A and B are shown apart, each in its own frame.
Chain A
């Protein structure tokens, strides 16, 4: 036992020291700009290799520290480290950096000055952005109603004792498996070639702004309703059978059962589904990009002629950064988008919870 402890102590010390030496070496190379490159199939900077190896050795060294009392704490640190580290670098740090950049004239690489609230003020004067914002709100409202209605009706259909209900569920869910980019192009084909052939009209629905907007809604409902349907089916399955039977014995017809028993009993499911449709419709990007790429003429909005008639806010932010190279400005728009989304979803959850309690 004692020997074992000594062995572990030496091992742990060696690993810790080796790790620290590697880290120090990496730091030194970084400061002195000794950019050595080693070839391991792909070219890797030596200091990067040292840094990663050093970190791993330190973690291993920590693991072998011969202590019973603190072992649990050490394990906690080692177990949390990988996920917290990636999470910090991809979400937390960019979040704070992003808030900062939204107050600068950042061009994606560097910034020359702080501009205060200029970016935020500018977006409210930009007709194209206001249009995107309002269009997104309209899109969200329509979709929240439509997706939930369609999905709920599909769920009712799929909970009857029809033959082959399993097949119908799978078929209705199928569009949800495919990414928005691929779906967008398939539907672009349908609107611009198939529908024009069926209706024998020379005009594609995507050619005019209003019908193109409707087209995006059609595709979105088609893609999303099957998923929401599954959640409603799950909710409807939780309604106890004996309650339904009791209602039937009391002479309640199907409509009464639906409105007085089923719907009130799955109020929680409605909350989840509205939340899901709300947030995902707000963030809609892929279908928008692939189906219309935001194009569409608006003759007169705030005294201007716009060419981004079907552009939702997510695509607007994307284009502001990557097509117009205004990163700081795009970042400010993104922050506003976040504030709106957070506020709306918080209000939605509040209202739904209140109503659930009342029911």
Chain B
């Protein structure tokens, strides 16, 4: 199907204008991180007053701010995201496999509970969650509220349903003969899972990890209520919120902080663009 040249040009112009509109906010953040407050307020759209020196001084001010503590927040976010993703992949795979390979009433019930829990909005469990964590923490004697392990625990709980849902769909498609052959060769069930099934799950694990990763890295509400704004181990989104609250309308600081908070995600996107976009779609249509 060939298109007329005039139409191609018009479509191209529309596409470019849309891209400019959609990317414009990112551009604004970038240029204004190179300016001081006075220059930003005077003319937020031009590069007048932008200098590399100013950029470095903005970055320094933001990174060393005691409400933000960028590297610490970045470390907390990275730690929580990576450990949660790892645990969700392993535990999710294990649970999905058991649910999928046992055709019994109990496995169907567990599956249905997982699926129906996906519609529960976070607000419903938000308040009792703090209370439950406090009581469990008190009973066990380990801090659940205000600690990173507690937060990771919560992410495993909240991410479990979707992880199991997507992985079960995939495991159903793996021929059962594969497992029977392994069993005949003397492979134990746990060996069958870790040596045969889990490696086969890899592409779906990537999808699940992308979906969960985007959610966990950007999530604000859960860490903000579990950790609190003044927690020294707060994650990046919570740190941004705490930081902005302490700098009313200091746009040089706020925009530089926004730039720093966005940078990791954008860098990862530039590296793994295809995988991320495919993963987001696959997760949605399953």
Q: Quick one: which of A75, A158, A183, A337 contacts B190, CB cutoff 8 A?
A: A75
Per-residue CB contact flags for chain B residues 218-238 toward chain A (1 = under 8 Å, else 0) read 111100010000000000010
- Cβ of A341 and Cβ of B121 under 8 Å apart? yes
State whether A160 touches B3 (Cβ < 8 A): yes
A98 on interface, CB distance cutoff 8 Å? yes
B126, A334: Cβ atoms closer than 8 Å: yes
Complex interface: chain B residues within 8 A of A8 (CB): none
Residues of A contacting B220 in the complex (Cβ-Cβ under 8 angstroms):
179-181, 285-286, 289
A283 CB within 8 Å of chain B: yes
Contact B189 A197 (CB under 8 A): no
A175 to B117, CA, bound (A): 28
CA distance A109 to B87 in the complex (A): 31
A186 at the interface (CB under 8 A from B): yes
- Is B208 positioned at the interface, with any CB of A under 8 Å from its CB? no
- B interface footprint on A297-330 (CB within 8 Å = 1, 0 otherwise): 0000000000000000010011001100001001
The reply to whether B15 and A178 contact each other, CB–CB distance below 8 Å, is no
> Chain A interface: which of B48-56, B62-70, B156-164, B170-178?
B156-164
Tell me, yes or no, whether B244 is within 8 Å of chain A by CB.
Answer: yes
Q: Does B71 contact A (CB under 8 A)?
A: no
Contact partner of A182 (CB less than 8 A), chosen from B193, B261, B281, is B261
Once the chains bind, are A198 and B45 in contact (CB under 8 Å)? yes
Q: Does B153 contact A (CB under 8 A)?
A: yes
Q: Judging by beta carbons under 8 Å apart, are B18 and A172 in contact?
A: yes
0/1 string, A178-193, CB within 8 A of B gives 1:
1111110111011001
Contact of B45 among A72, A109, A197 (CB under 8 A): A197
Alpha-carbon distance between A101 and B55 when the two chains are bound, in angstroms: 50
- Chain A residues with Cβ below 8 Å from B188 are 71, 75
Residues of A within 8 A of B95 (CB): 79-80, 82-84
Answer whether residue B119 sits at the interface, using C-beta atoms and an 8 A cutoff. Answer: yes
**Interface membership of A174, Cβ < 8 A:** yes
- Assess whether B40 is interfacial by the CB under 8 Å rule: yes
- The answer for the CA separation of A341 and B45 in the assembled complex, in Å, is 41
**Interface status of B200 (Cβ within 8 A of chain A):** no
With A172-B22, A181-B240 known to touch, is A83 a contact of B91 (CB < 8 Å)? yes
Contact with A along B166-209 (1 / 0, CB 8 A): 00000000000000000000001110010000000000000000
- B121 and A282: CB pair below 8 A? yes
CB pair A182–B262 under 8 Å, yes or no, is: yes
Using known A-B contacts A30-B139, A163-B12, A222-B22, determine if residue A231 contacts B284 with beta carbons closer than 8 Å: yes
- Docked complex: A254-270 residues within 8 A CB-CB of B: 269
Given A179-B220, A227-B280, A283-B121, residue A82 in contact with residue B91 (CB < 8 A)? yes
CB-based nearest B residue for A315: B123
55-96 of chain A: CB within 8 A of chain B? 71-72, 75-76, 79-80, 82-84, 86-95
Q: A173-B277, A230-B280 are in contact. Are A91 and B117 (CB under 8 A)?
A: yes
Q: Check A234 for interface membership: any CB of B closer than 8 A.
A: yes
Residue numbers of B with Cβ under 8 A of A are 1, 3, 8, 11-12, 14-15, 18-19, 22-23, 25-26, 28-29, 32, 40-41, 43-45, 87, 91-92, 94-95, 97-99, 102, 110, 113-114, 117, 119-133, 136, 139-142, 153-154, 156-158, 160-161, 164, 188-190, 193, 214, 217-221, 225, 237, 240-241, 244, 251, 254-255, 258, 261-262, 265-266, 269, 273, 276-277, 280-281, 284-285
Additional 19 contacts, C-beta under 8 A, given A162-B12, A179-B261: A47-B140, A82-B87, A82-B91, A82-B156, A83-B92, A83-B160, A90-B154, A94-B125, A94-B129, A98-B124, A174-B22, A177-B266, A179-B220, A180-B218, A181-B237, A190-B25, A197-B45, A231-B281, A317-B123
24 A-B pairs with CB atoms under 8 Å apart are A47-B141, A87-B161, A90-B132, A90-B158, A93-B128, A94-B132, A98-B127, A154-B18, A171-B22, A171-B23, A174-B23, A177-B265, A179-B261, A182-B240, A182-B261, A186-B29, A186-B258, A193-B44, A194-B45, A230-B280, A234-B285, A290-B244, A314-B123, A331-B127
